[in-house]
Amino acid sequence: MNEGNKRKRIRSLITEQRQEVVGMRNFYQYKGNQNQTFHGYLRRYKGHRLQKKGFASRSEAEKHLRNALNDIDAEERGEIRCKPTTAQEAFDIYRRKLDIRGRDKAQQYRHNVNSNCKVVKEFVDRFGPDRLIRECTEEDLREFYQILCFKPTLNQNSAAVFIGRVQGMLKAAQAKKPDLINWRWPKLTVKRKTDFERRYVEMNEYKTLVDVLLDPPLAPSRREERKSLWRDAGDAMQLLRQTGGRFNEILRIRLNQFHWSKGEVTLEATKTENERDIPLWGTIREIVQGRIREGLTDDVYLFPRARTETFDNAIGRAYRKAAKLAKVNYGREEGFTAHSLRHTFITHLMEITGNDAGTVMKYSGHKTLESFSIYLRPTQNGRILATQGMKSVGHFLGTFSMQAGNAGDAGTEIESVKPLKEQQVAS
């Protein structure tokens, strides 16, 4: 290398070192293909060559350079910096989570996922796909709820459900992205007035519908197929009522979930990750063993049709047709659905156990009292016991007020209570 090149190399190194020491920012502007003005920067910092162009203004270039410098400083300190999460990225996280869960569920679940995600995507588009999800507030949720309520195809209950789905997206994004770890995502509480799920199914309604399912009238065609399907529907309805299981949990129950020696059946939750063991009470044992004897099971499932994705819909149609024949109010206003049997099971257990929430939650699979609270309601027996208990407290307090009788009553005068004498306590 000749002397002139050495001098140029030395000057270049000195210039780079000065840039690092002084913190000099090399911003420049240039013309684009259509004679537009763009800005860029070229900078060396702590051994890194930072270069970027294509900014519409100098302030954008400065902001980008500042973030790049902060990333280098954070890496030097051992910190992990990540890109802030946008609304579109939050939606993608939520959609992928539901798609993975739907792989081992029925076709109806995946259909519902697609329907729900369309509405959630509508919220993302209104909010702004490129906006940071951290900017989402309760006002954004309330505004979207109001928009949904005014749609002719939706009611307030459906709008409330979709708001819950949007909040589920926010929660899923927080669990996945490190930049949201300390984010308090907004929550909007809207009241739902359920038409079916929380309806208590009376015993005569339940018996009438099961009788028709197990002994269906002759059909004009495909009699054997209809009888076989309605037998599945009748047995499933009995298990729904006696276990409190969810629809998909019972329709896809496997034979190895029945533990005959322990006298229990394990229900594998589909909505949550919580499993629970239910005693083989009532006629559960007779129903299952009867199906095994009659060859209505296979080597895996209690209901072999569970292998088909349309099994849920077929059972649902059987319930509606049987209810119409039995003149039972099923699936209509003020009526009940298959999920109402779960509500009936839990409500019945609460009554016969004296509101023993711990025992009932063990059998229902609820993890928290918050989710279980819809089943907590005052009872007549509870009001009687509360009144009796408070009367006893009033009587106890009345004995210390020189008046015999309950607190609040006239009572009769009694002798003054002698003061307690001081007694020496042994040390």
pLDDT along the chain (427 residues), means of 10: 65 53 65 88 86 88 86 77 88 94 74 90 95 94 93 85 94 91 88 67 94 84 81 96 92 94 88 79 95 95 90 92 92 85 91 88 87 74 76 69 48 47 46
Q: Give the model's pLDDT for residue 174.
A: 93
Q: Give the model's pLDDT for residue 283.
A: 94
130 by DSSP, 3-state: which? coil
Q: Give the model's pLDDT for residue 290.
A: 96
One-letter amino acid identity for 383?
A: R
d(CA 310, CA 106): 8
Q: Please give the structure tokens belonging to residue 141.
A: 């949720």
CA angle 106, 111, 117 (to 5 degrees): 130
Q: Which DSSP helix (H) or strand (E) runs through 396?
A: helix 380-398
d(CA 79, CA 309): 48
Q: Please give the structure tokens belonging to residue 382.
A: 């509870």
Edge-to-edge strand list for the sheet holding 264-267 = 258-259, 264-267, 276-279
Q: Give the model's pLDDT for residue 420.
A: 47
Q: Please give the structure tokens belonging to residue 400.
A: 């210390």
Q: Please give the structure tokens belonging to residue 187.
A: 């929550």
Residue 106, Ramachandran bin (φ over 0: left; ψ between -120 and 50: alpha; else beta): beta
Q: Please give the structure tokens belonging to residue 207.
A: 């018996």
Q: Give the residue among 281, 284, 252, 282 at the shortest CA–CA distance from 267.
A: 252
Q: Give the model's pLDDT for residue 168.
A: 94
Task: Say if CB 315 and CB 306 are below 8 A apart.
Answer: no
Q: Kindly give the pairing relationship between strand 276-279 and strand 258-259.
A: unpaired
Q: Give the residue among 21, 334, 355, 322 at the shortest CA–CA distance from 195.
A: 334
One-letter amino acid identity for 217?
A: P
Model confidence, pTM? 0.60
Task: Say if CB 244 and CB 345 are below 8 A apart.
Answer: yes
Q: Give the model's pLDDT for residue 31.
A: 87
**What CATH code would you report for 203-375?**
1.10.443.10
Q: Please give the structure tokens belonging to residue 352.
A: 């016969």
Q: Which DSSP helix (H) or strand (E) runs through 43?
A: strand 37-45
Q: Give the model's pLDDT for residue 410.
A: 46
Q: Which DSSP helix (H) or strand (E) runs through 277?
A: strand 276-279
> If you count them, how many residues does the chain have?
427
Task: Say if CB 194 and CB 157 are below 8 A apart.
Answer: yes
Q: Give the model's pLDDT for residue 388.
A: 78
> Long-range contact list for 342-347, CB < 8 A, 24+ apart?
342/240, 342/244, 342/245, 342/246, 343/197, 343/198, 343/199, 343/200, 343/375, 344/200, 344/201, 344/206, 344/241, 345/240, 345/241, 345/242, 345/243, 345/244, 346/244, 346/375, 347/200, 347/375
Task: Say if CB 421 and CB 410 are below 8 A apart.
Answer: no
Tens digits of per-residue pLDDT, 259-279? 999 999 999 876 555 689 999
d(CA 335, CA 133): 40
CA angle 178, 182, 187 (to 5 degrees): 115
